[in-house]
Structure formats: structure tokens, C-alpha cells
Amino acid sequence: MEEQLIMTLRYLRYYPTQRLLAFDFGVGVATVNETITWVEDTLRSSGLFDLDHLEAPSATVAIDVTESPIQRPKKPKQELFW
């Protein structure tokens, strides 16, 4: 059970892929998924980690996705080398 908690805490802290966690802990990917789900559900149902009453500030996010053309060399790469 201690390793299950460590696996879940590591997942929540560093957010690695579940495949990497499976490799590190020597278990299957399905086991990692089941373990993380079980530990999260157990902690949530214990009432000690109930964060639903906290209000998160709302935020508006704008992302600039303007395309910028890039100048490419006119000479082929073969001519650039000596």
C-alpha cells in the first residue's frame, strides 16, 4: 500500500506517463491506472482532502496563434558546405 501511495504522489507531482510509472514500479500500465484511481478515490472519500468547498478564481486566457512566415535560404544545403 505504501508503494501505491508513492506511485500516486509521484504521478500527481511530476505527471509522468503511466507507461513510465509502470516501468519504474515493475507493473503493467493497467495496474498503474487502477492504483492511481483507487488511491485518489480513497483519499477523496476519506473527507480529509475535500477541496470542493474552495473557490478557484476565474480567469480568461487569450492565446496568440498568429502565423509568422520564416525566411528560408535560397541556396540548397549542398552549396553551403565547403
Model pTM score: 0.61
In angstroms, the CA 40 to CA 74 distance is 56
Whether 10 and 16 have beta carbons less than 8 Å apart is answered as yes
Dihedral, 26, 27, 33, 39 alpha carbons, nearest 10: -80
- Taking only the tens place, the pLDDT of each residue in 59-79 is 788 888 888 888 877 766 665
Cell of 80: 553551403
Q: pLDDT tens, 10-56?
A: 999 999 999 999 999 999 999 999 999 999 999 888 888 766 677 77
Specify whether the CB–CB gap between 26 and 20 falls below 8 A: no
Report how far residue 74's alpha carbon sits from residue 25's, in angstroms, rounded to the nearest whole number.
Answer: 52
